[in-house]
Amino acid sequence: MPLPRRYAIISDIHANIEALEAVIADANSQHIDEFVCLGDVVGYNAAPSECIRRIRKLGSKVVKGNHDHYCSDPDVNLDDFQPNAASVIEWTRRNISESDTIWLHGLPFTAAIMGFTAVHSTLDSPEHFRYAFDTLEAKDSFAYQRTRVCFHGHTHVPCIFRRASAGSEVEKLAATNGTLDAGNYFINVGSVGQPRDGDPKACYVIFSMMSLTELSVEFRRVDYDIESAARRIEKAGLPERLITRLYTGQ
């Protein structure tokens, strides 16, 4: 594929169609060549089939998130889940078609895209959906990273982990825009449909590859119709806490 190339990296949509549409519109206004989705298309919000349809239409690479797994695999036993979480998963299972269920179930855990990697959680055991909040957890993932850059989601909190060289310590940097210096990067793109960093605006990343070595990231925050998303949750009878989170971004 010819360079330069611009990717919109989106994650944790969580059945929030209002946020997803706003992010797609914003990305298209930024002259994106391609979308990449890091999973959790469903769960928490109340428009799962709309989001699956929209993502499938984008024709982007998609990797599997834990909610995609729970909602598409009837063998996942919900007894150990918190009642609120279990009720949303059960509701989602009932509200997506068989074809959507098969599609979610068949998603891969990781994807190699031109010169970079996509995963929902971490590369050391992507099927166990571990959280990478700190440098120790990121270090485990770096051990399995074969590309200079890997994008992930899962925590809903955008940030940048950097390792200057194979033997050096991993550092955690704030989610700031700019060119990537030398070293390897494990970058969390935040969440489209349920941000948890205190900013309720939808979050995603534009990754620009000017050449194979000249790379930059831009974290974008996008306003969307939270009220409409909240009304859907209410109408579906899903837990009220899911509405509050959208407004507070926590």
Residues that bind Zn ion (CB under 5 A): 12, 40
Q: Which of 196, 187, 200 is closest to 9 using CA atoms?
A: 187
* Nearest-approach distance from CB 169 to Zn ion, in angstroms: 28
Closer of 64 and 162 to Zn ion (Cβ)? 64
Closer of 12 and 18 to Zn ion (Cβ)? 12
Measured CA angle at 129 (ends 128, 133), to 5 deg: 130
* Nearest-approach distance from CB 67 to Zn ion, in angstroms: 6
Cβ atoms 52, 103 nearer than 8 A: yes
Q: Which of 131, 137, 142 is closest to 186 using CA atoms?
A: 142
Could you give the CA distance from residue 90 to residue 171 in angstroms, rounded to a whole number? 39
* Nearest-approach distance from CB 8 to Zn ion, in angstroms: 18
* Nearest-approach distance from CB 153 to Zn ion, in angstroms: 6
Closer of 9 and 209 to Zn ion (Cβ)? 9
* Nearest-approach distance from CB 211 to Zn ion, in angstroms: 33
Closer of 12 and 26 to Zn ion (Cβ)? 12
Closer of 155 and 208 to Zn ion (Cβ)? 155
